[in-house]
């Protein structure tokens, strides 16, 4: 884990060289241990890059955030081409791989990574993100210069204004996160997953080097062998390549299967689980049973909701964005506890999006009642299979029409995603989640929580070869009748005892409605109704007061709306107080 920070401009542009140090300092929590300031003024360009490796002979500087999962495979392949390695580091491996494959180097890599490479001989900067977007990279163009960093806070240190993008606020209210490439900061955007951007002589070129296979049906071929054995082999390889000493054990099927595969490798596996005080549906007992079966060194964390209140503002600052869901706080707390005993952990994240784990993927459930939805709202959502988002937007539409005055309403709502030509509605829904919800909410949350805690979280279910294998299977391998993640359940039959297989999915759920009424009651009132509220100007205050009053009195449950409004306010106070 490392922080990427830098800028590039034409030689005639005026850039602040001192900004590099401030940008790098803002990313110190990402584990940067040493930093080479690469400053280049030759030719027609100037560049400043906080590099983790500089090769004077090759005239190449680079910084890598993440790791190369298939390092051994690449070393062997490059060795056959005459490349030699002075050290066993992922940075040197990336350097040699770049020298061999040039701009196409990302196509050869597996794992979670983002990197910046400055090639002085070609006077070219290359910025790249991994396929699913596990590692972040943000961009800002200013007066002919390109600034880039792992987190928005580093860009703000370069003098970039924290101006609010109000249309992104609309997205946040409707979706509970901001779909990429936009952010809440006007002028700051995300480099999309599976993308490579080059800057050369003032010209920007962005290409997508991989497409999630559910969005590209032409890549699928029928498989006739033992589908489950093939799936287990792919997942086990992904687990081995992401070798980690720890595992987030939720008590559900996803992490139980990972525990089974990790235990095959031998050694003492450390597992970490979290539960909330007084939660009758806690997964801690299930997690403990799984840990006992596989003989792990198990660690439980029991949290009282009130203990998480101080973490809320900290996590907003860490993410540079509102906390989307209360469970995000649980992920952060668990990461902090795990960091005390492990440097890296595996998580089951990405399983639902790749294997079809959400209930909304059930075809019959997705088709019901769609005809009655207003076409204006449905059109941009159904085209990408976002039935869940359509329903959520419609549920919010009633209060939005009341809460927002006409003159304060946003100029436009969420933009329609591009129509995907997938073969089925299931694949359209999967592709939409894999390219929006997954990178822009789930993985962004995981990255910031892990970075803030000082631990590396790795996700084997997001191995791209596993995703390609699963996408080549019939739809019924993922959703069969009313059964989700069918192939994972078949794999579980072979890997874990029957009594550990049937676990209801609950996750780290926190009763946000009750939390807002009790421990967060005054905190919420002060933020949404107090005289220092920044975002109250966006809304019809009387309507907001009615919504809050109804919730606090238990008349209606507005927890989703109020949680979102509260976190937007916390974000505003931190980044755009004026």
| For the chain, domain boundaries | 5-210, 221-297+330-359+420-500
Of 391 and 47, more confident = 47
Query: Average pLDDT, whole number, for the chain?
Result: 85
Q: In the prediction, which pLDDT does 87 show?
A: 87
Residue-wise pLDDT tens digits, 430-474: 999 999 999 999 999 999 999 999 999 999 999 999 999 999 999
Q: What is the per-residue pLDDT for 298?
A: 97
Containing 20, the helix (H) or strand (E) segment is: helix 19-25
Are residues 191 and 197 in contact, defined by beta-carbon separation less than 8 angstroms? yes
If you average pLDDT over residues 192-204, what whole number do you get?
95
Mean of pLDDT values over 532-553: 90
Q: What is the pLDDT of residue 68?
A: 96
Is the CB of residue 195 less than 8 Å from the CB of residue 207? yes
Look at residues 196, 94, 93 and name the one whose alpha carbon lies nearest to residue 137.
196
**The tokens 């294997």 sit on which residue?**
355
Which of these ranges, 13-27, 158-172, 195-209, 326-340, has the smallest mean pLDDT? 13-27
Q: Classify 82 as helix, strand or coil.
A: coil
- Is residue 179 within 8 A of residue 32, CB to CB? The reply is no
pLDDT greater than 90 at residue 366: no
What is the C-alpha separation between 496 and 286, in angstroms, rounded?
13
Residue 41 pLDDT greater than 50, yes or no: yes
pLDDT in tens, 51-63: 888 899 999 999 9
Query: Where is average pLDDT lowest: 120-129, 254-263, 389-398?
Result: 389-398
Contact 165, 152 (CB under 8 A): no
Residue 528 in tokens: 């949404």
Query: Quick check: 574 pLDDT over 70?
Result: yes
β-pair partners for 276: 303
Work out the average pLDDT over 231-249: 96
CA distance linking residue 485 with residue 420, whole number of Å: 22
The pLDDT score that the predictor gives to residue 368 is: 36
Render pLDDT for 254-273 as a digit per residue (tens, 0 to 9): 999 999 999 998 778 999 99
Q: Residue ranges of the alpha helices (H) in 61-211?
A: 71-80, 90-101, 152-156, 166-175
CA dist., res. 576 & res. 572, Å (int): 5
pLDDT value of residue 12: 67
Q: Degrees (nearest 5) of the Cα angle 398, 396, 324? A: 155
In tens, the pLDDT along 70-94 reads 999 999 999 999 999 988 899 999 9
Collapsing DSSP to helix, strand or coil, 303 comes out as: strand
Question: Is the model's pLDDT at 183 over the cut of 80?
Answer: yes
pLDDT of residue 18: 79
On the question of pLDDT at 410 being above 90, the answer is no
Q: Which range in 86-90, 179-183, 361-365 is most confidently predicted, on average pLDDT?
A: 179-183
pLDDT at 391 exceeding the cut of 70: no
* Distance from the first to the final alpha carbon of the chain: 34
> What does the pLDDT read at residue 501?
78
Give yes or no for a contact between 335 and 449, defined as CB atoms under 8 angstroms apart: yes
pLDDT more than 90, % of the chain: 62
Nearest to 399 by CA among 559, 267, 520: 559
Rounded distance between C-alpha atoms, residue 349 and residue 539, angstroms = 35
Q: How far is CA 26 from CA 2, 136, 157, 243, 339, in A?
A: 12, 15, 7, 29, 21
Q: What is the DSSP letter of 439?
A: I
Q: Higher-confidence residue: 283 or 373?
A: 283
CATH code of domain 5-210: 3.60.20.10
Inform me whether the pLDDT recorded for 6 exceeds 50: yes
| DSSP, residue by residue, 347-414 | --TTHHHHHT-SGGG-HHHHHTTGGGS-HHHHHHHHTTT-HHHHHHHHHHHHHHHHHS-GGGS-S--P
In this structure, are residues 482 and 360 in contact, taking their beta carbons and an 8 Å threshold? no
Q: How confident is the model at residue 223 (pLDDT cuts 50, 70, 90)?
A: low
Q: What is the CATH number of domain 221-297+330-359+420-500?
A: 3.40.50.620
**Which band of pLDDT confidence, cut at 50, 70 and 90, is reported for residue 576?**
confident
Residue-level pLDDT at 392: 38
Alpha carbon distance 484, 452 (integer Å): 33
**Residue 32, pLDDT score:** 58
Give the helix/strand (H/E) hosting 333.
helix 327-338
DSSP letter for each residue of 207-270: EE----GGG-GGG-----S-HHHHHHHHHHHHHHHT--SEEE--SSHHHHHHHHHHHHT-S--E
Mean pLDDT of the 278-282 span:
79
| Segment 465-495, tens digit of pLDDT | 999 999 999 999 999 988 999 999 999 999 9
Block residue for tokens 């690449």: 74
Question: Looking at residue 415, what is its pLDDT?
Answer: 34
- Look at residue 460 in the predicted model and tell me its pLDDT: 98
């Amino acid at each position: 884990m490392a922080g990427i920070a830098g800028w590039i401009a034409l030689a005639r542009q005026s850039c602040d060289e001192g900004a590099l140090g401030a940008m790098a300092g803002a990313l110190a929590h990402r584990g940067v241990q040493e930093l080479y300031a690469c400053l280049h003024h030759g030719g027609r360009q100037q560049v400043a890059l906080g590099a983790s490796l500089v090769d004077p002979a090759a005239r190449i500087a680079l910084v890598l955030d993440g790791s190369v999962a298939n390092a051994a495979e690449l070393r062997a392949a490059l060795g056959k081409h005459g490349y030699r390695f002075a050290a066993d580091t992922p940075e040197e491996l990336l350097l040699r791989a770049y020298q061999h494959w040039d701009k196409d180097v990302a196509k050869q890599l597996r794992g979670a990574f983002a990197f910046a490479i400055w090639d002085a001989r070609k006077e070219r900067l290359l910025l790249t993100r991994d396929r699913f977007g596990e590692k972040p990279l943000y961009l800002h163009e200013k007066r002919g210069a390109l600034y880039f960093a792992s987190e928005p806070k580093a860009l703000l240190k370069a003098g970039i204004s924290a101006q609010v993008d109000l249309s992104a606020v609309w997205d946040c209210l409707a979706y509970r996160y901001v779909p990429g490439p936009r952010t809440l900061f006007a002028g700051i955007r995300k480099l999309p997953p599976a993308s490579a951007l080059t800057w050369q002589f003032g010209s920007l070129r962005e290409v997508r080097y991989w497409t999630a296979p559910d969005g590209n049906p032409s890549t699928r071929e029928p498989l006739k062998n033992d589908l489950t054995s093939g799936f287990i082999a792919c997942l086990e390889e992904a687990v081995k390549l992401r070798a980690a000493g720890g595992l987030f054990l939720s008590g559900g099927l996803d992490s139980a299967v990972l525990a089974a595969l990790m235990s095959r490798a031998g050694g003492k596996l450390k597992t970490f689980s979290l539960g909330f005080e007084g939660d009758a549906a806690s997964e801690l007992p299930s997690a403990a049973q799984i840990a006992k079966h596989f003989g792990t060194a198990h660690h439980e964390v029991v949290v009282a909701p009130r203990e998480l209140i101080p973490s809320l503002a900290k996590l907003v600052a860490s993410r540079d964005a509102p906390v989307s869901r209360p469970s995000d706080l649980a992920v952060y707390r668990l990461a902090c506890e795990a960091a005390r005993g492990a440097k890296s952990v595996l998580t089951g994240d990405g399983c639902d999006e790749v294997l079809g784990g959400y209930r909304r993927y059930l075809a019959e459930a997705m088709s019901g009642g769609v005809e009655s939805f207003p076409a204006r709202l449905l059109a941009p959502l159904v085209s990408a299979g976002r039935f869940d988002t359509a329903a959520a937007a419609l549920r919010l539409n009633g209060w939005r029409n009341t809460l927002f005055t006409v003159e304060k309403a946003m100029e436009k709502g969420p933009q329609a995603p591009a129509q995907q030509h997938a073969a089925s509605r299931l694949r359209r829904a999967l592709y939409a989640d894999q390219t929006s919800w997954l990178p822009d909410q789930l993985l962004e949350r995981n990255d910031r929580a892990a970075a803030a805690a000082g631990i590396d979280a790795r996700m084997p279910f997001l191995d791209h070869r596993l995703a390609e294998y699963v996408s080549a299977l019939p739809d019924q391998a993922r959703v069969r009748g009313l059964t989700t993640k069918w192939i994972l359940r078949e794999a579980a039959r072979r890997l874990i005892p029957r009594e550990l297989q049937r676990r209801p999915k609950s996750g780290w759920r926190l009763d946000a409605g009750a939390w807002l009424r009790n421990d967060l009651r005054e905190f919420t009132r002060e933020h949404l109704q107090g005289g220092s509220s920044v975002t109250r100007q966006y809304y019809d205050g009387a309507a907001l007061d009615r919504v809050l009053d109804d919730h606090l009195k238990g008349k209606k449950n507005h927890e989703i709306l109020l949680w979102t409004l509260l976190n937007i306010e916390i974000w505003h106070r931190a980044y755009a107080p004026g």
